[in-house]
Chains A and B, each alone.
Chain A
Amino acid sequence: MYVESFPDFSEWFLPGLLLFLAVLVSGAILGLFFGYLVAAFRHGPFEAFYVVAQVVAEAVPDFMKTSPRRVVALARLAIKEAMRRRVVLVTFVIFALMVLFGSWFMGGGTEKPEQIYVNFVLWGTQMLVLLMGLLLSAFSLPDDIKNKTIYTVVTKPVRSTEIVLGRMLGFATVGTLLLVLMGLISYFFVWRSLDHSHQIAGDWKTKAVAASQGLAAFTAVDTEAGKSTITGKRVSENALFEATTTVDNDHSHRLEIISDVREADQPALDSDDIIRTIKRDDGRVEYHRVMCLPVGNHTHAVTVTGEGDDAQITLGQSVGYFRARVPIYSSELTFYNREGEANKKGTNVGKESKRRGYVDGGSARKRSTLSRATFSFENVRESRFPDLDFVPIDLTLGVYRSYKGDIEKRVIAGLQFESIPDKPDVDNKFISEIIEFETKEFAVQTLPVPKKIVGRIVAPDGSLVEEGAYDLFDDFAGDNQKLMVVLSCRDINQYIGVGRSDAYLRGKDQAYWWNFLKGYIGIWCQLMIMIALGVALSTFLGSPLVMLSAVAVMIVGFNSEFIRKLAEVDAQGNLINEQGGGPIESFVRVVTQQNMMVDLDTGFFDTIIEKLDYLLVSMLKMLTYLAPNFGDLNFSNYLVHGYAVDNSRLLVAIAVTIAFVFGLTLLGYFCLKTREIAK
């Protein structure tokens, strides 16, 4: 998963509010203009002025005098109506069928079934709930007007605000209740589907339950080569024996017995996974511990009762499927090239550089230590991190090889930690040794960084002050709680690619249920906007048109990022992301049978075509700001990949929802107020 934006609610709020006000003001001006046109058409240009003024003047008391009791009464009616229409029931039945039979088609052939399951329930819930919200809101008011039941309502002292708000509140209540129910069922469904345990298999080929559950079920590994006799792959350090488990939930685990030697003066190890304890002659104690190797993200706790061949090994329920990792992203990423010059993009290695910058490993002739990527972290304090004796750093690195290199080895990268003094020309600086590690491409690799790191203190003039082991939090992060992490490439002529979201410190995991709830709050926000949109449009459009328009808005909303990218221009004002140009240029190419790669002949017509294309695409881009960016409200990616949805993002989503619901309420009110209810 690649995160592109790092919203900070406090920073986002003011520009967001200004944008909202700008849209509101321009909407108001447009509305007044359009209203005046319609009124002038009906009553003449002079009279129209008074008509518009009257509508505006009446709006204020209409909003001020809106009675909550009447809104609730109308909401109750909307709820009863929603239940009567059976849309809710049908939605729920479809969901129930999905959940009941969905697992027949999922889970096979992947090490991370939780991603498929979570994606499935979230996507299903989102689509069903949005469709339901749209159906309810699109048909309610037009039907009421068609059946004339609205006559008996508007001839009571009911204001247009109350009709609009009552409908929204009613459907929102129904939608919320259904969403809560679906959320609970989904949670239970995912948990039940993934929860499993294994037994030890007797033969790694048959994977049948072993006759003996003790040490006898294990075979020795090839300790010389450090390879498995079963798979031929590398085994863990100090592994002595291995076995496999039975196949449950479409997978089996490898078990290893690892030798854990403790010094004589160390306290005796007390762990549930010890299968054999050997006292050596030199006084040291060797513990043989049974480890269950993870498949994907999950593993099982091992409990051993008894000793040796008589031991009974029990694997616990799966753990690790449901995580809400809290990434602490850097506030700034800077690249330095071989000459030590800073830039934002890193070395360009071609198309791969699009979202990652690349760090140069230097050449054999000029072994560069200056080429690096620096991540500045803020608010680094111990309380944010898990209660372990190391700090986990997650890295997702891209590797660009300029030559094949050692095929057995991966490209080596280095990590270094530095303090960021507030006054660099006065304060001393902590600099750690470089920790080298093998990069793992296409995966998130977690590096456990010890809390005490060997390093040195350097004075502002570069002279060495002291060497020793220093504390990551107390010394490196220090009082200003700032930490710099420096990534470098240790292999000559190779490149390591990294983006801002590719390296983060792992904070304390969040409770999974809370993250799950946040995912559903995202869906809820989308639902609220959908309902408000349906109700607002249905004040002046018939049901089929409401459906059509709302679906159009939804499509724009889900793809607004993509559409905005289409309208990106370079310094010359040419569209960047379109091969073959915009709509008109593409049409011309189709008609004149020109391919996409060759530039059009530059001339008068081509300039006009380009400008028109730019205008069209820009209009499309402006449209995306009117449609809600559903991508910002959709957190399913976070849940699927096991990341916590950060609170800023949640607050942004809620604020966006409030803004849209407010704007749509206004739209619905004015449209209902100015239309004739009767025909």
Chain B
Amino acid sequence: MATDTSATSQSPQPTGRLEQSNPDYDPNIVIEAQNLTKVYRDFWGRQKVRALNALDLEVRKGEIFGLLGPNGSGKSTTIKLLLGLLFPTGGRAIVLGKNATDVAKNERVGYLPEESYLYKFLNAEETLDFYGRLFDIPAKIRKERVQELIQLVGLEKAKRRQLREYSKGMTRRIGLAQALINDPELILLDEPTSGLDPLGTRDMKDMILKLRDQGKTIVMCSHLLADVEDVCDRIAILFQGDLKEMGRVDSLLKVSGETQIKAENLPESAHEEIRQIIAKHGGKNIVVDNPRTTLEDLFLNIVRESEQRPGMRPTSTTGGDADSATPPADPSN
């Protein structure tokens, strides 16, 4: 088993797998994965796929964390391991200070699955009521909460219709509503915008940002780069089960070798002056600015490189402060 974890700056604490509670539990760290590995086996125990390889991950309170990767890169496996839907082959995952397989952690977790796997014979109200009951929420509060959430996701007009009649967008909305029924601290979103039209995607992203502003921690995985770029504070890029890159989105996308200057109402003469200054310094461009690469470029770059040199990336290529120690943006900003 490849356990080379040197790609990330933090070395994992050597802890027993079966340890229930973390003695140095930091309430600011919502998710902690150490050396998390998942190998799928067939009936006879033979290895089929190594879906996740020694992942080390830390998600802090109040941030939006994006898991990015092509299909089959281990994003969903990571989320399922964090939820206890799968058992790790090696390593461990601590969620909200508890082992990922501990049912009790679910009290404070909300989960929107990839497809909205909901009971199609229930209507919106019944669905939310059912999930509310699973949280042991008293009847009165449950009723209020159900109406509140239906309003939040904008399904007032369709709340009495069975889910089988719902469009994809409506299903995603009710899916999100059920993930929020318990007012969770941590929300795990598996492909939150998949199958949504641009308008729906915008709505979903706005809702995610709104939730972050309420102080909730959000982990989402997606292969839609634009979504991740728009909303995530930090991202991790996975490819074939390996962690390829992790850090703040703004620093990961900053191209430090180039400068870009952008100005308004600058007279033509000034242009010449600037060009001269640049020429004096041996520069060639007239745009004075830090240009941003698109996430798409970064992503494709990593994928191409990984295909040439499989395994973990030894150093980070773009972001200077990958997995930065700086605290996430203050939600109130």
Stretch with Cβ within 8 A of A (4 or more), from B128-136, B200-208, B310-318, B323-331: B128-136
- Asked if A157 and B106 make an inter-chain contact with CB atoms under 8 angstroms apart, the answer reads yes
- Asked if A70 and B133 make an inter-chain contact with CB atoms under 8 angstroms apart, the answer reads yes
B102 to chain A, nearest CB (A): 9
Contacts of A74 in B (CB 8 A): 134
A610 to chain B, nearest CB (A): 38
Contacts of A676 in B (CB 8 A): 85-87
- Asked if B18 and A154 make an inter-chain contact with CB atoms under 8 angstroms apart, the answer reads no
Contacts of A266 in B (CB 8 A): none
- Asked if B45 and A42 make an inter-chain contact with CB atoms under 8 angstroms apart, the answer reads yes
Considering the complex, give the chain A residue whose CB is closest to the CB of B181: A156
B74: Cβ under 8 A from any A Cβ: no
- Contact check: which of A67, A77, A84, A152 meets B113 at CB < 8 Å? A152
Which residues from 26 to 60 on chain A have a C-beta closer than 8 Å to any C-beta of chain B?
A: 41-42, 47, 50-51, 54
Complex CA–CA separation, A87 to B145 (angstroms): 34
B2: Cβ under 8 A from any A Cβ: no
Stretch with Cβ within 8 A of A (4 or more), from B114-122, B153-161, B227-235, B246-254: B114-122
Considering the complex, give the chain B residue whose CB is closest to the CB of A156: B134
B103: Cβ under 8 A from any A Cβ: yes
- Asked if B80 and A678 make an inter-chain contact with CB atoms under 8 angstroms apart, the answer reads yes
Considering the complex, give the chain B residue whose CB is closest to the CB of A158: B134
A147 to chain B, nearest CB (A): 6
- Asked if A154 and B85 make an inter-chain contact with CB atoms under 8 angstroms apart, the answer reads yes
- Contact check: which of A62, A81, A159, A678 meets B119 at CB < 8 Å? A81
- Given A54-B18, A80-B121, A152-B117, verify A41-B45 contact (CB < 8 Å): yes
- Asked if B85 and A157 make an inter-chain contact with CB atoms under 8 angstroms apart, the answer reads no
Complex CA–CA separation, A47 to B89 (angstroms): 12
- Given A41-B45, A67-B136, A678-B80, verify A155-B109 contact (CB < 8 Å): yes
A208: Cβ under 8 A from any B Cβ: no
Task: Classify chain A's interface size.
Answer: 20 to 34
Complex CA–CA separation, A72 to B130 (angstroms): 10
B30: Cβ under 8 A from any A Cβ: no
- Contact check: which of A42, A80, A84, A157 meets B103 at CB < 8 Å? A157
Which residues from 119 to 151 on chain A have a C-beta closer than 8 Å to any C-beta of chain B?
A: 147-151
B182 to chain A, nearest CB (A): 8
- Asked if A70 and B117 make an inter-chain contact with CB atoms under 8 angstroms apart, the answer reads no
Contacts of A677 in B (CB 8 A): 85-86
A269: Cβ under 8 A from any B Cβ: no
How many Cβ-Cβ contacts under 8 Å join chain A to chain B?
Answer: 82
- Asked if A151 and B130 make an inter-chain contact with CB atoms under 8 angstroms apart, the answer reads no
B107: Cβ under 8 A from any A Cβ: yes
- Asked if B122 and A151 make an inter-chain contact with CB atoms under 8 angstroms apart, the answer reads no
A192: Cβ under 8 A from any B Cβ: no
Interface residues as binary, A305-322 with B (CB distance below 8 Å gives 1, 0 otherwise): 000000000000000000
Considering the complex, give the chain B residue whose CB is closest to the CB of A68: B136
A153: Cβ under 8 A from any B Cβ: yes
- Asked if A70 and B18 make an inter-chain contact with CB atoms under 8 angstroms apart, the answer reads no
- Given A154-B85, A677-B85, verify A148-B113 contact (CB < 8 Å): yes
B111: Cβ under 8 A from any A Cβ: yes
A69: Cβ under 8 A from any B Cβ: yes
A73: Cβ under 8 A from any B Cβ: yes
B83: Cβ under 8 A from any A Cβ: yes
- Asked if B117 and A678 make an inter-chain contact with CB atoms under 8 angstroms apart, the answer reads no
B300: Cβ under 8 A from any A Cβ: no
- Asked if B117 and A147 make an inter-chain contact with CB atoms under 8 angstroms apart, the answer reads yes
Considering the complex, give the chain B residue whose CB is closest to the CB of A50: B18
B288: Cβ under 8 A from any A Cβ: no
B31 to chain A, nearest CB (A): 14
Contacts of A41 in B (CB 8 A): 45
Complex CA–CA separation, A154 to B101 (angstroms): 11
Contacts of B115 in A (CB 8 A): 148
Complex CA–CA separation, A149 to B117 (angstroms): 4
- Asked if A148 and B130 make an inter-chain contact with CB atoms under 8 angstroms apart, the answer reads no
B193: Cβ under 8 A from any A Cβ: no
B235 to chain A, nearest CB (A): 23
Complex CA–CA separation, A72 to B139 (angstroms): 13
- Asked if B45 and A156 make an inter-chain contact with CB atoms under 8 angstroms apart, the answer reads no
A441 to chain B, nearest CB (A): 61
- Asked if A678 and B85 make an inter-chain contact with CB atoms under 8 angstroms apart, the answer reads yes
Which residues from 364 to 406 on chain A have a C-beta closer than 8 Å to any C-beta of chain B?
A: none
Contacts of B106 in A (CB 8 A): 155-158
Which residues from 154 to 176 on chain A have a C-beta closer than 8 Å to any C-beta of chain B?
A: 154-159
Interface-centre pick from B83, B86, B133 (highest chain A CB count, 10 A): B133
B104: Cβ under 8 A from any A Cβ: yes
- Contact check: which of B111, B119, B122, B133 meets A69 at CB < 8 Å? B133
Considering the complex, give the chain B residue whose CB is closest to the CB of A70: B134
Complex CA–CA separation, A677 to B113 (angstroms): 13
Contacts of B34 in A (CB 8 A): none
Complex CA–CA separation, A650 to B134 (angstroms): 36
- Asked if B133 and A73 make an inter-chain contact with CB atoms under 8 angstroms apart, the answer reads yes
Contacts of B107 in A (CB 8 A): 157
Considering the complex, give the chain B residue whose CB is closest to the CB of A677: B85
- Given A73-B134, A676-B86, verify A152-B121 contact (CB < 8 Å): no
- Asked if A77 and B119 make an inter-chain contact with CB atoms under 8 angstroms apart, the answer reads yes
Considering the complex, give the chain B residue whose CB is closest to the CB of A53: B18
Contacts of B130 in A (CB 8 A): 73, 76-77
- Given A73-B130, A159-B103, A678-B86, verify A151-B117 contact (CB < 8 Å): yes
- Contact check: which of A151, A152, A157 meets B135 at CB < 8 Å? A157
Contacts of B117 in A (CB 8 A): 147-152
Contacts of A149 in B (CB 8 A): 117-119
- Given A151-B113, A152-B111, A678-B85, verify A81-B134 contact (CB < 8 Å): no
Considering the complex, give the chain A residue whose CB is closest to the CB of B81: A678
Complex CA–CA separation, A84 to B113 (angstroms): 24
B73: Cβ under 8 A from any A Cβ: no
- Asked if B133 and A84 make an inter-chain contact with CB atoms under 8 angstroms apart, the answer reads no
B8: Cβ under 8 A from any A Cβ: no
Which residues from 167 to 207 on chain B have a C-beta closer than 8 Å to any C-beta of chain A?
A: 178, 182
Contacts of A47 in B (CB 8 A): 17
Complex CA–CA separation, A677 to B119 (angstroms): 17
Which residues from 14 to 45 on chain B have a C-beta closer than 8 Å to any C-beta of chain A?
A: 17-18, 41, 45
- Asked if A152 and B178 make an inter-chain contact with CB atoms under 8 angstroms apart, the answer reads yes
Contacts of B45 in A (CB 8 A): 41-42
Contacts of A42 in B (CB 8 A): 41, 45, 89
B238 to chain A, nearest CB (A): 17
Contacts of B131 in A (CB 8 A): 152, 156
- Asked if A157 and B104 make an inter-chain contact with CB atoms under 8 angstroms apart, the answer reads yes
Interface-centre pick from A67, A148, A156 (highest chain B CB count, 10 A): A156
Contacts of A51 in B (CB 8 A): 18
Considering the complex, give the chain A residue whose CB is closest to the CB of B16: A50
Complex CA–CA separation, A678 to B17 (angstroms): 21
Complex CA–CA separation, A149 to B106 (angstroms): 16
- Asked if A84 and B121 make an inter-chain contact with CB atoms under 8 angstroms apart, the answer reads yes
Complex CA–CA separation, A67 to B118 (angstroms): 22
Considering the complex, give the chain B residue whose CB is closest to the CB of A72: B133
Contacts of B83 in A (CB 8 A): 155
Contacts of B17 in A (CB 8 A): 47, 50
Complex CA–CA separation, A76 to B45 (angstroms): 38
Interface residues as binary, B37-55 with A (CB distance below 8 Å gives 1, 0 otherwise): 0000100010000000000
Complex CA–CA separation, A155 to B101 (angstroms): 10
Considering the complex, give the chain A residue whose CB is closest to the CB of B90: A43
B134 to chain A, nearest CB (A): 4
Contacts of A152 in B (CB 8 A): 111, 113, 117-118, 131, 178
CB-defined A-B contacts under 8 Å, sample of 10: A70-B133, A74-B134, A76-B130, A148-B113, A151-B85, A152-B111, A153-B134, A155-B84, A158-B103, A158-B106
A residues bordering B, Cβ < 8 Å? 41-42, 47, 50-51, 54, 62, 67, 69-70, 72-74, 76-77, 80-81, 84, 147-159, 676-678
- Having A70-B136, A73-B133, one finds 7 other A-B pairs with CB under 8 Å, namely A47-B17, A67-B136, A81-B121, A148-B113, A152-B118, A155-B84, A678-B85
Across the A-B interface, give the 8 residue pairs with the lowest CB-CB distance, nearest first.
A73-B133, A678-B85, A156-B134, A148-B117, A157-B106, A155-B111, A84-B121, A678-B80
